[in-house]
Structure 1
Amino acid sequence: MHLTDPVSAPEWARVRATFQQVWGYEDFRPPQDDIVRSLLLGQDALVVMPTGGGKSICFQLPALLQAGLTLVVSPLVALMENQVQELRQKRLPAALLHSELPPRQRQQTLWQLERGRLRLLYLSPETLLSASVWKLLSQPQVQLRGLILDEAHCLVQWGDSFRPAYRRLGAVRPALLAHKPAGTSLAIAAFTATADPSAQRTIQEVLGLQQPQVFLQNPYRANLALSVQTVWSPRGRRRSLWRFIRARRGKAGLVYVRSRREGEELADWLTQEGFPTAAYHAGLAPAQRRRIEQAWLGGEMPFVVCTSAFGMGINHPHVRWVLHYHAPLLLSEYVQEVGRAGRDGQPAEALTLVSDRPGWLNPDDRQRQQFFTEKARSQHQTAQSLIRKLPKAGPVAEVARQFPDGAIALALLHRNGQLVWDDPFHYRILPGATPQPFQADPAIRQMQDYLYTRECRWRRLLRSFGFAKEAEGLRCQTCDRCRAGASAPS
């Protein structure tokens, strides 16, 4: 099949037959079929579909139907492990690479990769850009079919903070194609459950998407009731959490916290209070993460106290509630996390606990926000100071070696339009680049406005994510604002 040809009727019949045989579903849910067609035709794509919408099938199926290797860039080891485990259970040629793999398993995967035995390879941005993996992928005989960025919102949220490798992904395609036979193409598709118009633009620009097919699904879930509750002290926050969980004892849920330390302290306290739970975060060993996941999926542990590392790629459709012990900084994080509730279409609820907005009585949230803002300001100042200290062009590794947070500084300069990547490993500061003043991320203000809004929460969310037409006149009747009859525009 030529990339410019439409998918023929016989070819599409084979696609549907494979879909039914491997995944067991009768037919696609819109827009899954259109996304699969787009990827089969080798087109770039940006896909924004709510949690539980079946995004992974959309890129796994085309990868299995065509010769060559599809790279899936994924942010979390737990997410990679879950998806690859499911694929292997279906006896599909998939593998993963990450820094925690035992040497023998890593060598086996590299051997399979070099000999064309894989169709899907999951790896992090950092692993993709590691010397050994890059050298292997660059070999002319390694046939590459596509590059998938899964959970693409992480590029926006983390790419210029603690995961700067994300900012270099746009240089991957031309660098790899330079080593491949003439005429080789490499499609790129970005998948996420949440991206507002600004995040969509960032993803497209950073990845260098070429005339992408864009698929945007409305995130509104009529079965998910959204609420925000003000707590007036740290003790009051714990008391509200305790009452909420006790009233839903035995129902599957998630408690989201913003740091590993908070998760461990809260899980210890709740265990002492008689609730079987555990803290889950990226710092746990893979075996520990797997035990907690299985205990939760099996109902042995009704809820988990977790950071944002939990939930991506874990399929539990019957989650009845999500509680944010502290609010996320960004609306995109919030929508990702509340979207884990009610994926079966049955009623579910999401509660966020917040301090009073000025922080006079309970300064916890205000101090947390100030901490992250000051950290961002410090990183920005470091990046701007490097403009005059660095060579105008050079290797990223050398900057990272010489300067603390040097790689983050380069990512920030790239975000500000002061730097370009000649390839994934070499930067170039643009002529005339001068230090710029710090500006706080407007997305943080957007989250605060949502938490303290007086209008229907779903209406506010839809407008924030670019669905103004769908938001017009909406009253969900399930959020706290609608229930209180306070749905006047703010």
Structure 2
Amino acid sequence: MQASTEWQQVKTAFKKIWGYDDFRPPQGEIIKSLLDYKDALIVMPTGGGKSICFQLPALLKTGLTLVISPLVALMENQVQELQELKLPAALIHSQLMPQQRRNTLRLVEQNQLRLLYLSPETLLSSPVWSVISQPQVQINGLILDEAHCLVQWGDTFRPAYRRLGAIRATLLKLKPTGTKIAIAAFTATADPDAQAIIKQVLNLKNPQQFLLSPYRSNLELNIKTVCTPRGRQQQLIQFIQPRKNQTGLIYARTRKDCEQLAQWLQTQNYSTVAYHAGLGSDERRKIEKDWLEENVKFVVCSSAFGMGINKSNVRWVAHFQAPFLLSEYIQEVGRAGRDGQPAIALTIISEPTGFFYPEDKQRQNYLKENLQKQYQAANQLIKKLPLRGNIETVSEQFNNSEIALSILHAQGRLIWRDPFHYEIQSKPAKSTLDLNHKAIQQMNQYLKTRQCRWQFLLQAFGFNLDQSFKRCGHCDRCKSPQKS
């Protein structure tokens, strides 16, 4: 009876804050898990209501939940929504004015906040860590939002991700006896390999797993091959022309691509704008607002757009260039049709031989070569690093040492004694470069596959298919198997 009464109070709070009568499965189970301080790994499709699953438990507890998020735009969106509801949430990032950061850290010291959003790098910065680690600052949970970024970026681009697994044990030594800190990782995309890496790096303890299929029966998937840059532009126009009055998104891979494509579309009399991480905060907010309110029907954007932005009636998504990874692809196409109504996704690729139109092949080769160079440089540097050390001291002595330490950790040859002190161990190295190349190859296989595209995706992400699921009936392969 007691448990039933407590759960009714949880649902009452949910209704009061967000206005919903009940949870969508498995939101209730996830919330119970975090309220009970249990670790969890949650893989839920885009638009599945992930943020509520960690926001509500944080708001119902005294003390602070740290939400580690990869992008400033994502943090700003979620915190703005919470603050508009008069809820005790804040964020810290490098673009804030010093006075704003000081005010937020003062609130943390006084246990006035329930949710604090920040990047891995900011969490591990000296000013923030010195406050977070104070004995009187009550920490209840560590949430890794968009946890696939740990896998995609943790080795060579954002090495701070690889140090997150040492945070809980270190904080518990500094907090009062009996303190509990739960860790939960949330993402829309993680195949079995990625799930294993997330659990290992974060040191999750017997995590409860909530793994939901990304399948959407209302979302049609299409790939079109073109042989010239002009053909790529024409294919895009053919796709968006009949849908110009519907809400959509066009993804390009770089800031420059976004800018150039938006400018070209404007010359074709389309009202659109480029969005990427290089824009200022105010400019990004304005574009998001214009798109959400449908003053602008579609935006030309990098992968920075869409994370945490809640819009259910997106009818189409176009990839002007294919993502490098399936996890990126399923995140981005998953922004269409969240209302359950019919939606369509198109990815335009240059012909695979690269003989007539080498752009995509060159782009991918550049990525592979760059990865190879980073690993080679790191492996040379590893020979010079002390076997034990402090990351700040080592970083001052050796350029790119953070990446070298991260690669060592990924190879199983290094442990973090705490988030700042490492120890190199004499173990045979696991080849993490092969994992990256495997992920790129998997995307290539998807683009070329002759089987049902949804079937390919579900198998890739580790979901057992029902025997009846041979053809989805709403991808280009099922509709016309012989076409490319």
Settle same-fold status: TM greater than 0.5. Answer: yes
Tell me what 1:19 maps to: 14
Residue type matched to 1:450 in 2?
Answer: Y
Tell me what 1:156 maps to: 151
Q: Deviations over 1:197-249 (max 9, x none)?
A: 00000000000000000000011000000000001111211121122121211
Unaligned runs of 5+ in 1: 1-5
Counterpart-to-counterpart distance in 2, 1:42 and 1:108: 29
Q: Deviation of residue 142 (structure 1)?
A: 0.2
Q: Secondary structure at the match of 1:441?
A: helix
Tell me what 2:247 maps to: 252
Distance 1:432 1:475, change over 3 A: closer
Tell me what 2:69 maps to: 74
Tell me what 1:3 maps to: none
Tell me what 1:327 maps to: 322
Tell me what 2:267 maps to: 272
User: What value does the CA root-mean-square deviation take over the aligned residues?
Assistant: 1.6
Distance 1:377 1:153, change over 3 A: same
Counterpart-to-counterpart distance in 2, 1:166 and 1:374: 23
Q: Secondary structure at the match of 1:178?
A: helix
Counterpart-to-counterpart distance in 2, 1:397 and 1:378: 24
Tell me what 1:39 maps to: 34
Q: Does 1:194 align with 2:196?
A: no
Tell me what 2:166 maps to: 171
Q: Does 1:55 align with 2:50?
A: yes
Tell me what 1:356 maps to: 351
Q: Deviation of residue 420 (structure 1)?
A: 1.3
Q: Deviations over 1:49-74 (max 9, x none)?
A: 00000000000001111111000000
Q: Does 1:475 align with 2:474?
A: no
Q: Secondary structure at the match of 2:73?
A: helix
356-365 vs 53-62, which deviates more?
A: 356-365
Q: Secondary structure at the match of 2:174?
A: coil
Check the 8 A contact 1:381/1:438 in 2, yes or no. Answer: no
Check the 8 A contact 1:45/1:209 in 2, yes or no. Answer: yes
Check the 8 A contact 2:333/2:345 in 1, yes or no. Answer: yes
Tell me what 1:229 maps to: 224
Task: Detail structure 1 runs of 4+ shifted over 6 Å in the superposition.
Answer: 434-437
Check the 8 A contact 1:75/1:125 in 2, yes or no. Answer: yes
Check the 8 A contact 1:459/1:471 in 2, yes or no. Answer: no
Q: Deviation of residue 466 (structure 1)?
A: 0.4
Check the 8 A contact 1:263/1:307 in 2, yes or no. Answer: yes
Tell me what 2:461 maps to: 465
Counterpart-to-counterpart distance in 1, 2:31 and 2:403: 35
Tell me what 1:216 maps to: 211
Counterpart-to-counterpart distance in 1, 2:433 and 2:4: 55
Q: Deviation of residue 434 (structure 1)?
A: 6.8
Q: Secondary structure at the match of 2:305?
A: coil
Q: Secondary structure at the match of 2:344?
A: strand
Q: Does 1:98 align with 2:86?
A: no
Distance 1:436 1:456, change over 3 A: closer
Q: Deviations over 1:296-319 (max 9, x none)?
A: 111111111111100000011110
What count of residue pairs does the alignment treat as equivalent? 482
Q: Does 1:442 align with 2:438?
A: yes
Residue type matched to 2:164 in 1?
Answer: L
Counterpart-to-counterpart distance in 1, 2:400 and 2:465: 43
Q: Secondary structure at the match of 1:333?
A: helix
Tell me what 1:185 maps to: 180
Q: Deviation of residue 86 (structure 1)?
A: 0.6
Counterpart-to-counterpart distance in 1, 2:367 and 2:467: 31
Counterpart-to-counterpart distance in 2, 1:261 and 1:460: 32
Q: Does 1:240 align with 2:267?
A: no
Counterpart-to-counterpart distance in 2, 1:475 and 1:367: 33
Q: Deviations over 1:366-418 (max 9, x none)?
A: 11110010111011111211222111111112333333322112111111111
Distance 1:435 1:313, change over 3 A: closer
Check the 8 A contact 2:252/2:319 in 1, yes or no. Answer: yes
1:129 counterpart (124, 130, 133): 124
Tell me what 1:451 maps to: 447
Q: Deviations over 1:277-311 (max 9, x none)?
A: 11111111100000100111111111111111000
